[in-house]
């Protein structure tokens, strides 16, 4: 059998001071040692994708070098080893989010595909003209467009919870937006632009009062804080591997087992079937009913290694570290003339800060920061309605993670001040 434990290199971080612990974590990430424009890399684009530790890189390499094979149907040794590693990753994810069973964990290509799966399977089976789906104005496009497409096809009404001027959800009229016509409440746990952390339990309770199901976009929460799907009582949760130290090309849809059992398949093909006749087919059991074709085997194994890595660090520590960093970043950037930080204060946000700087186009701003070795994101971040609501076309965004430091925030602030000086803000 292949070694199915993360092959790896265990996290170098130990229970030490925060500074020592972050220094140890940074040694686990090879890419952080590189130079950009002859300057040490400051990577602050973690909301788009995170970097990968040695343990994840080693797990991917080990699969391809030692037991590369397809899963589930083979009886030869390599296939059995690959199947064991693939299913072990599912169990690791199950434990990480505290799902009741590994049958509730569906592997997808990412958050976007997970939400589309719910829309095209649960939504198409359950939504009718006269029904309503309630989402929010702070959603990523992946939690807007699938519902717009389905609404045009099925005929239900899509409604939105508005934002306050501070970048929070305006829940003052929630009782008029959430009615007996609402069949689904779908919302982002943590905004990828505003940083806002939404009150999941309050929203779930409100949805339950009218009999609505709940889908939560956890792309920006699962990598950054403890998430317990049973404690939150959500019906569906979607998130992506590549934002939590894992590979690209794989994500997760969690769903309550009874709901998943009742939902029809979304895609047809191999592995999602139990029997195929020319006159019809019978579906496989969960979770395979929703995993048509050859899955992302290496990527699932890599995700499992990432989950083990983060679990070794501790998600409570991750959340606390980011709270300290974002408070420091908010304070430092607020001191720069002309900088406007989007969203609420640090006490109500996760580990990112999106901002504008006077009339400097965010792409120009990002280019200047890149020349200083600082990587940030620029654009609308797949959240145009938020930018429309704020009256801006785009923003720059610095997003933080386990390996970032106050010194790197200082580098960001210094580079941003340099840009302000160049453009005479």
Contacts of 110 (CB under 8 A, 6+ apart): 240, 241, 242, 248, 249, 250, 251
| Catalytic pick among 382, 389, 410, 425 | 382
**Can you count the helices (H) and strands (E) in the chain?**
15, 17
74: pLDDT confidence band, cut at 50, 70 and 90?
confident
Same domain, 211 and 331: no
Contact indicator for 177, 134 with CB cutoff of 8 Å: yes
How confident is residue 8, by pLDDT bands cut at 50, 70 and 90? very low
Would you tell me how many other CB atoms lie within 10 Å of the CB of residue 336? 18
Number of domains in the chain: 2
First to last CA, the chain: 62
* Residue from 195, 243, 221 nearest 353 by CA: 195
Q: Is residue 276 part of a domain?
A: yes
The SS3 call for residue 286 is coil
**Residue at 237 is within a domain:** yes
209/270 same-domain check: yes
Q: What is the CATH number of the domain that holds 376?
A: 3.90.1150.10
Quick one: average pLDDT of 172-185?
96
Mean pLDDT of 69-88: 95
Max alpha carbon distance in the chain (Å)?
72
- 373 and 257 housed in the same domain: no
Q: For residues 297 and 250, what is the distance between their CA atoms, to the nearest angstrom?
A: 9
Q: State the average pLDDT over residues 103-112.
A: 98
- 25 in Cβ contact with 403 (< 8 Å): yes
User: Do 266 and 385 have their domain in common?
Assistant: no
SS3 content of the chain, % helix, strand, coil (to 5): 45, 20, 40
Q: What is the mean pLDDT of the chain?
A: 95
Q: How confident is the model at residue 16 (pLDDT cuts 50, 70, 90)?
A: low
Q: What is the pLDDT of residue 425?
A: 62
Q: At what angle do helices 362-371 and 406-422 cross, to 10 degrees?
A: 120
Q: Examine the fold and report which residue of 268, 296, 311 is the final residue of a domain before the chain moves on.
A: 311
Residue 424 has pLDDT above 80, yes or no: no
The answer to whether residue 357 sits within a structural domain is: yes
Is the same domain home to 121 and 162? yes
* Domain presence at residue 5: no
Do 340 and 198 share a domain, yes or no?
no
Q: Which burial class, exposed, middle or buried, applies to 279 when counting CB atoms under 10 A from its CB (0-12, 13-18, 19+)?
A: exposed
pLDDT band of 17, cuts 50, 70, 90: confident
DSSP 85-96: HHHHHHHHHHHH
User: Is position 382 annotated as part of the catalytic site?
Assistant: yes
The pair phi, psi for residue 239, each rounded to 5°, is: -160, 170
In a domain, 337, yes or no: yes
Domain annotation covers residue 10: no
In a domain, 161, yes or no: yes
Q: Is the same domain home to 366 and 267?
A: no
Query: Which of 294, 311, 328 corresponds to the end of one domain?
Result: 311
> pLDDT band for position 14 (50/70/90)?
very low
The reply to whether 300 falls in a domain is: yes
CA–CA separation, 102 and 11 (whole Å): 25
Determine the structural domain holding residue 235 and report its residue range: 60-311
* Alpha-carbon torsion (389, 412, 57, 59), positive or negative: negative
Predicted confidence at residue 5, as pLDDT, reads: 41
Strand order in the sheet with 339-341: 339-341, 352-357, 395-399, 377-379
**DSSP H or E stretch at residue 185:** strand 182-188
Query: What gap in Å lies between CA 201 and CA 385, rounded to an integer?
Result: 25
Question: In angstroms, rounded to a whole number, what is the distance separating the alpha carbons of residues 26 and 28?
Answer: 5
User: In this predicted model, what pLDDT tens digit does every residue of 290-306 receive, in sequence order?
Assistant: 999 999 999 999 999 99
- pLDDT > 90: percent of the chain: 93
For residues 24-28, give the mean pLDDT: 98
Last residue of a domain, one of 255, 279, 311: 311
Phi/psi at 129 (5° precision): -55, 135
pLDDT at 171: 97
The answer to whether 119 and 183 have CB atoms below 8 angstroms apart is: no
Residues 251 and 239 in one domain: yes
pLDDT greater than 70 at residue 15: no
Same domain as 276, residue 375: no
Q: Name the pairing type of β-strands 42-43 and 157-161.
A: unpaired
Q: Same domain, yes or no, for 228 and 344?
A: no
Same domain as 381, residue 253: no
Rounded Cα distance, 52 and 230, in Å: 28
């Amino acid at each position: 059998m292949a070694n199915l434990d993360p092959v790896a290199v265990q996290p170098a971080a130990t229970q030490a001071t925060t500074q020592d612990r972050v220094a140890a974590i940074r040694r686990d990430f090879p890419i952080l040692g590189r130079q950009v424009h002859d300057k040490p890399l400051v990577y602050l684009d973690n909301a788009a994708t995170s970097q990968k530790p040695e343990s994840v890189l080693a797990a991917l390499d080990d699969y391809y070098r030692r037991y590369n094979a397809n899963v589930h149907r083979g009886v030869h040794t390599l296939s059995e080893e690959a199947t064991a590693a693939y299913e072990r990753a599912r169990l690791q994810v199950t434990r990480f989010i505290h799902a009741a069973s590994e049958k509730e964990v569906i592997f997808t290509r990412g958050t976007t595909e997970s939400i589309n799966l719910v829309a095209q399977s649960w939504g198409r089976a359950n939504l009718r003209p006269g029904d309503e789906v309630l989402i929010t104005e702070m959603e990523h496009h992946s939690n807007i467009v699938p519902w717009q497409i389905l609404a045009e096809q099925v005929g239900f009404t899509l409604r939105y919870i508005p934002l306050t001027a501070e970048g929070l959800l305006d829940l003052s009229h929630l009782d008029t937006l959430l009615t007996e016509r609402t069949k689904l409440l779908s919302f982002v746990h943590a905004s990828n632009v505003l940083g806002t952390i939404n009150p999941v339990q309050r929203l779930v309770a409100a949805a339950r009062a009218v009999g609505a199901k709940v889908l939560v976009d956890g792309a920006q929460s699962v990598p950054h804080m403890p998430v317990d799907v049973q404690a939150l009582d959500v019906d569906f949760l979607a998130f992506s591997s590549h934002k939590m130290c894992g590979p690209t090309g794989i994500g997760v849809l969690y769903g309550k087992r009874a709901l998943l059992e009742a939902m029809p398949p979304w895609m047809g093909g191999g592995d999602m079937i139990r029997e195929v006749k020319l006159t019809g087919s019978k579906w496989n059991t969960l979770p395979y009913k929703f995993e048509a074709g050859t899955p992302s085997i290496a990527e699932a194994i890599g995700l499992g290694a990432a989950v083990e890595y983060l679990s070794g660090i501790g998600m409570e520590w991750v959340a606390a570290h980011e709270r300290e960093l974002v408070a420091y970043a908010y304070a430092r950037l607020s001191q720069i003339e002309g900088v406007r930080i989007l969203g609420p204060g640090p006490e109500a946000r996760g580990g990112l800060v999106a901002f504008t700087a006077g009339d400097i186009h965010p792409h120009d701003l990002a280019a200047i920061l890149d020349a200083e070795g600082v990587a940030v994101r620029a654009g609308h971040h797949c959240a145009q309605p938020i930018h429309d609501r704020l009256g801006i076309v785009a923003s720059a965004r610095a997003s933080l993670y386990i390996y970032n430091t106050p010194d790197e925030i200082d580098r960001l602030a210094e580079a941003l001040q340099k840009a302000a000086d160049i453009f005479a803000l």
